[in-house]
Amino acid sequence: MVQQELVYNSLPKQVSRKAFNRYINPHLKKRFQGPKPKLSCYKIFNYILYVLHTGIQWEQLRTRRHELHWSNVYKWHHRWSHDGSYQALFRASVMHLKETDQLDVSILHGDGSNTVAKKGGMTSGIRGTSTRKGRRSSPLSKITASSLAPSVSNLSTAMTVSFSPRP
Let me know if residue 45 belongs to a domain: yes
Residue 43, domain member (yes or no): yes
**CA triple 160-165-167, angle to 5 deg:** 130
Rg (CA), the chain: 23
Instruction: Please count the structural domains in the chain.
Output: 1
Mean pLDDT of 32-53: 87
Give 32: exposed, middle or buried? Use CB within 10 Å, 0-12, 13-18, 19+. Answer: exposed
The larger pLDDT score, comparing residue 40 to residue 8, is at 40
Q: Note whether residue 55 is domain-resident.
A: yes
- Do the domain assignments include residue 120? no
Whether 128 is covered by a domain: the verdict is no
- Residue 130 has a pLDDT of 52
Query: In terms of pLDDT, which residue wins out, 96 or 110?
Result: 96
Ordered alpha helix ranges (H), 23-126: 41-54, 70-82, 85-99
129 - beta bridge partners?
136
Please state whether 18 falls in left (phi above 0), alpha (psi between -120 and 50) or beta: alpha
Nearest-10 Cα torsion for 73, 26, 19, 102: 120
What is each CA distance from 97 to 68, 92, 101, 105, 110, in whole angstroms?
A: 34, 9, 6, 11, 17
User: Residue 33: which pLDDT band, with cuts at 50, 70 and 90?
Assistant: confident
Q: Is 70's pLDDT higher than 50?
A: yes
The chain-wide mean pLDDT, for the chain, equals 74
CB-count burial class (<10 Å; 0-12, 13-18, 19+) for 41: middle
- Provide the residue range defining the domain that includes 51: 17-99
25-29, 103-107, 122-126, 145-149 — which one is most confidently predicted on average? 25-29
Establish if 144 belongs to a structural domain: no
In one letter, which amino acid is 18? K
Beta bridge partners of 136: 129
Beta-carbon contacts of 20 under 8 Å, excluding residues fewer than 6 positions away, are 41, 42, 45
Residue 5 lies in a domain: no
Query: Does pLDDT of 139 surpass 60?
Result: no
In a domain, 6, yes or no: no
Residue 10 has pLDDT above 50, yes or no: yes
pLDDT tier at 113, thresholds 50, 70, 90: confident
